[in-house]
Amino acid sequence: MNTAVYPGSFDPITLGHLNIIRRTAAVFDKVYVCVMVNSTKKPLFDRDERVELIERTVAKYKNVVVETSGDLVVKYMKDRGAKVIVKGLRAVSDFDREFQIALVNRKIDHGIETLFMPSSEKYTYLSSTVVKEMAQYGADLRAFVPKEIIEDVYRKVNSER
């Protein structure tokens, strides 16, 4: 079975993330979307909340499984028999960071490959940080996040004030 892992913090999932998931699901037999810990970020949603939000948005993709892990992505992959990490790229700055991480992952396990998938051009500006900022000002989020979670984002941002 051709299995890929799409790791990230997904705080919250955006339409750009969803675009990468849809395209990855069309290429691989099984896709694990894994909510990971990012020690450099203070998340708005906890990991379980992020898993639930993603599950709602990807329910139509029968080959996509959403999980969370505190392990290194390479260990997580090994436990699931996956050999490919999918990383979405919006700009050259994403590539610089992700390329370094890909080299580290390959150093840990030579059997791991990283597939860089360029973002759809209509989502190159989009990030979870932008979503959270826009939500704080009550902006219309329909162009930023899946419709299934818009109210959750507003509710969470307003409860954090």
* CATH superfamily for domain 3-159: HUPs (3.40.50.620)
Phi, psi of 123 (to 5 degrees): -120, 10
What DSSP state is assigned to residue 33?
E
pLDDT number for residue 40:
79
Q: What is the pTM of this model?
A: 0.94
pLDDT number for residue 2:
95
Token digits for 119? 């973002």
pLDDT number for residue 36:
94
Q: Is the dihedral of CA 129, 133, 135, 140 positive or negative?
A: negative
Which of 90, 106, 120, 127 is an active site residue?
A: 90
Per-residue pLDDT of the chain (161 residues; tens, 9 = 90+): 799 999 999 999 999 999 999 999 999 999 999 999 877 778 999 999 999 999 999 999 999 999 999 999 999 999 999 999 999 999 877 898 999 999 999 999 999 999 999 999 999 989 999 999 999 999 999 999 999 999 999 999 988 76
Three-state SS for 88? strand
Residues in Cβ contact with 157 at an 8 Å cutoff, skipping those fewer than 6 apart: 44, 132, 135, 136
Residue 122 a catalytic site member: no
Residue 110 a catalytic site member: no
Residue 17 a catalytic site member: yes
Residue 161 a catalytic site member: no
pLDDT number for residue 55:
98
Which of 9, 17, 50, 132 is an active site residue?
A: 17
Largest Cα separation within the chain, whole Å, is 46
Phi, psi of 107 (to 5 degrees): -65, -40
pLDDT number for residue 161:
67
Which of 41, 107, 122, 142 is an active site residue?
A: 41
Helices (H) and strands (E) in the chain, counts: 6, 5
Which of 47, 50, 128, 156 is an active site residue?
A: 128
pLDDT number for residue 92:
79
Q: Are the C-beta atoms of residues 141 and 135 closer than 8 Å to each other?
A: yes
For the stretch 44-89, pLDDT in tens is 999 999 999 999 999 999 999 999 999 999 999 999 999 999 999 9
Q: Which of 81, 119, 79 is nearest to 98 (CA)?
A: 119
CA–CA gap between residue 48 and residue 35 (Å, rounded) = 9
The full set of domain ranges for the chain reads: 3-159
pLDDT number for residue 58:
97
